[in-house]
Amino acid sequence: MQKSKGYRSSFRKYMGRYWQLYAMMLVPFCFLLVFKYGPMLGNILAFRRFKPLTGPYGVSWAEPPLRYFKQFLGQKQFWTAFRNTLIISIENLAVNFPIPVIFAILLNEVRSVHVRRFIQTVSYMPRFISTVVVISILSELLSPSTGLLNRLLSTVFGIPRIYYLNEPVYFRLLYILTDMWQFTGWTAIVYLAAITAISTELFEAARIDGASRFQQIIYITIPSIMPTIMTMLILSVGNLLVLGYEKVLLMQTPTNMAVSDIIDTYVYRLSLGATSPQYSLAAAIGLFNGLIGLILVSGANFLAKKITGSSIY
Amino acid sequence: MKRSENKNKIRERKSILSFITIPVMVVVTLVCIIPFLYIIAMSFSSPAAIINNRVSLWPVNFNFDAYRSVFSYPNFFRAYGYTLIFTIGGTLISLAMMVLFAYPLSKEQLKGRKFIMKMVVFSMFFSGGLIPNYLLVSNLHLTGSIWAILLPFSINQFCLIILINFFKSIPAEIEEAAIIDGLGYFGILTRIVLPLSGPALATVGLYTAVFFWNSWFYPLIYLNSSQYPVMLLLRNIVNGSTLAVETGGSGAQFALSISVKSAVIIVSSLPLIVLYPFLQKYFVKGMTVGAVKE
């Protein structure tokens, strides 16, 4: 009895001191619940029948409950989208993971601070441009009649003019190159920060021993930033399936659909982009995709804990 | 004697590496700049010069026709107005929400903090997909209203963690003194913490502003076409002119549409391109701070 009284009064004392902090986060916390956890709960639609105007959680359980999962797992289009997602992701990782590392190392070799800063400023800029603008610029550069690239290729090398954005063969290449253009400089920031953190004494000692700059890169720079590289690699693997679907949507044309349809755009086409939307089916695919993502991230985090001794999150 | 030999060797090797470094840096710089120069040149050139392939990186027959037709485009200023509303309104709401959330979460002694942090981090990795989000917003009757853009994205977990880490770095002594003086936490936040938080607020505010300025997908699915921001307008113009290529519209019209498209690209990115060099340092700060784990 007395104990609970003491507990109560200490609770009162605690709240007397901290109530303002709780009051402060009341509204943002509700936002988190409504706008992040609300949709998370909404995933339940993957197991339920949807009826328009009856709320986001469906009207009744699907019969059988995994009906929509069975439905999309049996669809050829789903597997095409799944395969495309995987191929684009892996190719993109293979190309665009090492390039910022190389760029950062080379940029660090630029001795003049002013030149380095200029290059940095210029190379970050594409990161802040909207995907719409990026793809608009791309479509102008590649235009068969007036685009700079086609003019160059046809006048200098005599290569016939092609509308590259329409050709399925070039879709992945263009996806990867635009990613490179937008994010190389930006991602390099992390590696540059890691390189500047290396003790200069190491380089001085190597120089006295007669190591060339190239040897210094191989034996000092790269081993020193290896933990950063590993962390970034694990992070990228965790986010493997998170593709820029906005960019893919903008780059899709009827002719490149066979290679450009990814899970996210397939979901969009089944639901919001369709004349008769299949919300439950789309939600089931979305949930499937989200769960794979969650597994990848947790796996990556687990690996990070094992390898580097500290988890990323 | 031996020393000077060594020195020569070093200089020689250094120049071999710069054989790679200098060309790479030149190419990177050109690749980043040329697309913009090309678009600028296109936007100021005459349709005849464009169709005859005479425009490369410098305007030919310099004129403002494209810009004139952009500004006389029926919905251009309306779209620009919506972009401004989304950017300014969205950024202010997000900043308010995230500051009010991050400050309590930066207090280690607060009970329940760890649990809420876990909720925040978990929501970064697992979320409702497109459909649950869409159905939620439409069931809250937000579709077709600007609130569909302003509210759902107001808490960005990445930015929230930047702010939390920043607030944690403020010395506790300052706040303790204020508490003894009888100031509540609201008072501490507005009078002491926020005035110290300029750089962190700038970083987070800029990320948020860029997000809202550039967004087009959510306006597309949540809003009526009369509420489209400028990025969506651009997308529709681009879609329209790619159609013109396929159906083979008249040459001059097609060329004009290219310079108009270029002008829209320039006008819609101008604020970012102009302000960017001055704000760059804040973005970079966020990138390196954000890497710190919670």
B82 in the same domain as B47 = no
Which of B176, B101, B153 lies closest to A24 in space, CA to CA?
A: B101
pLDDT digits (tens, 9 = 90+) for A244-275: 889 999 999 889 999 999 999 999 999 988 88
The pLDDT of residue B251: 62
Pairwise CB contact (< 8 Å): B283 & A312: no
Q: Which of A93-102, A111-120, A155-164 has the highest mean pLDDT?
A: A93-102
B230 in the same domain as B118 = yes
Query: Is A288 in contact with B148 (CB distance < 8 Å)?
Result: no
* Minimum-distance CB partner of A29 among B101, B214, B262: B101
Q: Name the domain count of chain B.
A: 2
Pairwise CB contact (< 8 Å): A181 & B32: yes
* Minimum-distance CB partner of A56 among B36, B123, B139: B139
Pairwise CB contact (< 8 Å): A311 & B280: no
Q: Cβ contacts (< 8 Å) between B280 and chain A: which residues?
A: 121, 124
The pLDDT of residue B243: 40
The residue with greater pLDDT, A98 or A3, is A98
Domain end residue (candidates: B63, B81, B116): B63
Banded pLDDT at A41 (limits 50, 70, 90):
very high
Backbone angles phi, psi at B157, to 5 degrees: -65, -35
Query: Looking at this predicted complex, what is its ipTM?
Result: 0.88
The pLDDT of residue B14: 55
pLDDT digits (tens, 9 = 90+) for B128-172: 889 999 999 999 999 999 999 999 999 999 899 989 988 988 888
Banded pLDDT at B289 (limits 50, 70, 90):
low
How buried is residue A8: exposed, middle or buried, by Cβ count under 10 Å (0-12/13-18/19+)?
A: exposed
Banded pLDDT at A93 (limits 50, 70, 90):
very high
B119 in the same domain as B96 = yes
A210: left (phi over 0), alpha (psi -120 to 50) or beta: left
Banded pLDDT at B48 (limits 50, 70, 90):
confident
CA distance readout (Å), A121 to A307, B268, B276, B287: 34, 20, 9, 14
The pLDDT of residue A276: 87
Interface contact A218, partner B, CB < 8 A: no
Best to test chain A binding among B131, B204, B270, B287 (most A CBs inside 10 Å): B131
Give yes or no for residue A180 having a pLDDT over 50. yes
Cβ-count burial A46-74 (b if 16+ within 10 Å, e if not): bbbbbeeeeebbbeeebeeeebbbebbee
> What whole-number distance in Å separates Cα of residue A302 and Cα of residue B270?
43
Pairwise CB contact (< 8 Å): A264 & B130: yes
Asked if the peptide bond before residue B219 counts as cis, ω within 30 degrees of 0, the response is: no
pLDDT digits (tens, 9 = 90+) for B237-246: 877 644 444 4
Half-sphere exposure in the Cβ direction for B137 (13 Å, CA): 24
Pairwise CB contact (< 8 Å): B186 & A20: yes
Give yes or no for residue A16 having a pLDDT over 70. yes
B211 in the same domain as B167 = yes
Q: Which domains does chain A have, with CATH numbers?
A: 2-61 (no CATH), 67-308 (1.10.3720.10)
Pairwise CB contact (< 8 Å): B123 & A186: no
Q: Cβ contacts (< 8 Å) between B97 and chain A: which residues?
A: 27-28, 31
Cβ-count burial A180-205 (b if 16+ within 10 Å, e if not): bbbbbbbbbbbbbbbbeeeeeeeeee
Tokens of A288: 């499937």
Pairwise CB contact (< 8 Å): B32 & A123: yes
The pLDDT of residue B291: 46
The pLDDT of residue B252: 64
Mean pLDDT of chain B: 84
* Minimum-distance CB partner of B269 among A133, A146, A267: A133
B23 in the same domain as B101 = no
Tokens of B151: 């509210």
Domain end residue (candidates: B26, B42, B63): B63
Interface contact A170, partner B, CB < 8 A: no
The pLDDT of residue A115: 92
Banded pLDDT at A310 (limits 50, 70, 90):
low
B160 in the same domain as B50 = no
Pairwise CB contact (< 8 Å): B97 & A129: no
> What whole-number distance in Å separates Cα of residue B293 and Cα of residue B130?
28
Which domain does B26 fall in, by range? 1-63
B263 in the same domain as B241 = yes
pLDDT digits (tens, 9 = 90+) for A205-257: 998 988 888 888 999 999 999 888 988 888 888 788 888 889 999 999 889 99
Domain end residue (candidates: B15, B34, B63): B63
Query: Which of 231-250 (A) contact B at CB < 8 A?
Result: 246, 249-250
The pLDDT of residue A86: 94
Q: Cβ contacts (< 8 Å) between A217 and chain B: which residues?
A: 17
B89 in the same domain as B43 = no
> What whole-number distance in Å separates Cα of residue A19 and Cα of residue A62?
45
B163 in the same domain as B55 = no
B179 in the same domain as B95 = yes
Banded pLDDT at A191 (limits 50, 70, 90):
very high
> What whole-number distance in Å separates Cα of residue B253 and Cα of residue B186?
60
CATH classification of the domain holding B258: 1.10.3720.10
Q: Cβ contacts (< 8 Å) between A20 and chain B: which residues?
A: 184-186
> What whole-number distance in Å separates Cα of residue A144 and Cα of residue A155?
13
Q: Cβ contacts (< 8 Å) between A213 and chain B: which residues?
A: 13-14, 17
Query: SS3 for A60?
Result: strand
B254 in the same domain as B181 = yes
Pairwise CB contact (< 8 Å): A145 & B131: no
Interface contact A275, partner B, CB < 8 A: no
B175: left (phi over 0), alpha (psi -120 to 50) or beta: alpha
Give yes or no for residue B116 having a pLDDT over 70. yes
pLDDT digits (tens, 9 = 90+) for A274-288: 888 899 999 999 999
> What whole-number distance in Å separates Cα of residue B76 and Cα of residue B212?
18
B140 in the same domain as B111 = yes
A-B Cβ pairs (cutoff 8 Å, strict): 279
Q: Please give the DSSP secondary-structure letter assigned to residue A312.
A: -
